[in-house]
Amino acid sequence: MERCPQGSAHPRSGHTSDEKPARVSQHTRAPLGASAPNAEQLHALDQALFDAPYIVIDRDNNKVVTTATADAARVALQQHPAAVSIVGTARAGIEVVDIDAADTGAPAEAGTAASENLRDWLTGHGLPFLRRASGRPGGHHVIAHVPAALLDAFAAYVADVAEHHGVAATLRVPRTLRLLTAPHRHGHPAPVLEGTLTPADAPTASTGPARTPKRPTHRPASGPSKPGQQTASEREYGRTCAAIRRGLNFTQTWALLGECQVVERGQADFRRFMWFRAVTEVAAERGLDEDAAWDLAREASVARARSLGRQAWRERYWLPAVERAADPAQRRVRRLSDRADEPPHAPAADPAEQAAVLERTRKAMHDAASDLIARFRPQRQKSIRAVIDALAVALVTRDGSIDVRTLAEQACVSKGVTVQVKADLTEHGIIAVAEKYSGGADDCHRYILGSRAEQALPQNKTTRWYTPTPRSYGHANPQRMRLHHVRERTRWQLRCTLEEATRQTGERWATSQHPAAKTARSLWAQRARWDALPEDVQEQKRKQRKAFLGRLEPYERKRWFDWLNHRDGLAQAAARARTGQDQPADVLALTTAPLTVHLGMRERTWLDGPVALPHDPAQPPLFDRAA
């Protein structure tokens, strides 16, 4: 049985949501039996597909009046001068997909291709559908009767199609839509193009309440009731959540997953479907607010966040995660079954035994540090407990090896406070340094239990029948800490790389031509220039850049980053040309490059794409050394 790449446990049949949608031309053959219904059939479909309330709207999409029947809405449409169209509510079981190419700046053909992909998916599953033009170029509505068993798979496929074609496509929640017989509010042509949906296919009142894919009714993969019955997707999702709780980043988690179903599908699917959801889950467990969780989710997968949008992310992932985080039973299941504090790969030791050792170690460290903790104010007490919990995990699962930045990230405590707490714990015999840092970018201290913690450690193992104490976390912003630590680690790795490369030559950091030295000097020079500016000038520049980026449409921002990539390609082509290693593609790129490429954002060709300049055969090429 195949599983959804998001880690859910529902079965799928036929097409899978992780298949790449093929780009379909506008002349794709329609499914057998698909045709555009006539006016009488459209009227019957309106009666079968839609239910109250019916909303009469004006040209600005504002409500004019609400009625209980479609006939009353049609009467109001004729009587009210401002009324221009009628919106109904789709019955339970009828799903509505709104596709809009203009929202993302995609061509109209992309919206048509996306609607045809959805049509083909529905036809392949034997589901009746209607495909209608929504009015704007590239805009379409796809209406279908989707059973609850296929709703999650359909929602995932809609998101994949939207991302593949670069259009906005969402399942409407609530399922409100302009009636098939109602005119467009701006008078645009919006005919029904094709379909196989008939009034007989519409669900009846006995079908039951509608099920929305935003709130899955199945048990989440992070907390199954019986660990022995976990599916492969559930186990991999649980291990991913455990890795995030330990503070591992994407690269570290991917490296530790090993041979499994997720790895076979590739990093792209893992990031979009499993990592994105797991980051949201852990953010809810840590009590972050919605804005901070959305920032982390966007950082986890920009493509997935862009295709879903914040509203869909909130209803599909965030709100259910908040509910699970607030449920004491879910917290207990997560601690006992999901093994949040263990490595994401299967440990050699028995999981229950390792969890018991971790609990004993934590309790001994907290007991030994009780008098130290009591000396400080409550805020510092929370930070000390968080650092102790993170150190206990390192002692049990990593043989005590952990660097200060990783320790700070796992405890959600600033690096400076972490260093102070670590020094206090060492001084009071809670921990001891077994091996000190010996050099290099990958080495770190190794810690063991100190004398006081050893004395507090119970020697006899007892059966654990109680729920272990939840881990403590500080209040530091984990995203901001990680970004700051990435910059620090980058500079430190550059220094270590240079020291390794120049150990025999004796080159100096300030004059070496080693790539690591040149990169580090460039970073330092940029930072020095920025730090030399007065604070008011820095703030003014920040406001100017934020204001400029805020005025850009999404498609303009995308073109800006595409232009940066193009400019980087030009720089690499020029470097190859200067060394005589240019290729034919480099010649074409350089001869058609804008002469003002060095101006960056001030060069407006990035918005419309680089324009090739007329080439004079008598003029030496740009990459000619004699030019």
pLDDT range class, residue 462, cuts 50, 70, 90? low
pLDDT value at 168 more than 70: yes
Fold agreement between 39-207 and 351-456 = no
For 185-226, the pLDDT digits (tens) are 888 888 888 888 888 887 764 344 344 444 333 333 333 333
39-207: CATH topology: Alpha-Beta Plaits (3.30.70)
pLDDT value at 423 more than 70: yes
More confident residue, 229 or 175: 175
Of 560, 538, 540, 539, nearest in space to 549 by CA: 560
pLDDT range class, residue 573, cuts 50, 70, 90? confident
pLDDT range class, residue 140, cuts 50, 70, 90? very high
Residue percentage of the chain with pLDDT more than 70 = 70
For 361-385, the pLDDT digits (tens) are 888 898 888 888 888 888 888 889 8
pLDDT range class, residue 29, cuts 50, 70, 90? very low
Q: What is this structure's pTM?
A: 0.35
pLDDT value at 343 more than 60: no
Exposed e or buried b for every residue in 597-610, given b needs 16+ CB within 10 A? beeeeebeebeeeb
For 74-124, the pLDDT digits (tens) are 888 888 888 999 999 888 888 899 998 888 888 888 889 899 989 988 888
CB-based contact 447:394 (threshold 8 Å) = yes
Q: Determine whether domain 351-456 maps to CATH 1.10.10.10.
A: yes
Burial class (CB in 10 A: 0-12, 13-18, 19+), 145: buried
CB count within 10 Å of CB 618 equals 4
Of 526-535, 556-565, 579-588, the range with the highest mean pLDDT is: 526-535
- Mean pLDDT over each residue of the chain, to the nearest integer: 74
pLDDT range class, residue 141, cuts 50, 70, 90? very high
Per-residue pLDDT at 9: 33
Extents of the domains making up the chain? 39-207, 227-337, 351-456, 543-608
| β-pairing verdict for 431-435 and 446-449 | antiparallel
Residue percentage of the chain with pLDDT more than 90 = 4
pLDDT value at 627 more than 50: no
Six token digits for residue 46:
């309106």
Q: What are the C-alpha distances in Å from 547 to residues 254, 295, 449, 542, 543?
A: 37, 19, 52, 8, 6
Gap between the Cα atoms of 408 and 397, Å rounded: 17
pLDDT value at 576 more than 60: yes
CB-based contact 489:520 (threshold 8 Å) = no
More confident residue, 327 or 164: 164
More confident residue, 304 or 15: 304
Per-residue pLDDT at 142: 93
Sign of dihedral through CA atoms 121, 124, 128, 134?
A: positive
pLDDT range class, residue 605, cuts 50, 70, 90? low
For 39-85, the pLDDT digits (tens) are 788 888 888 888 888 899 988 888 888 888 888 888 888 888 889 99
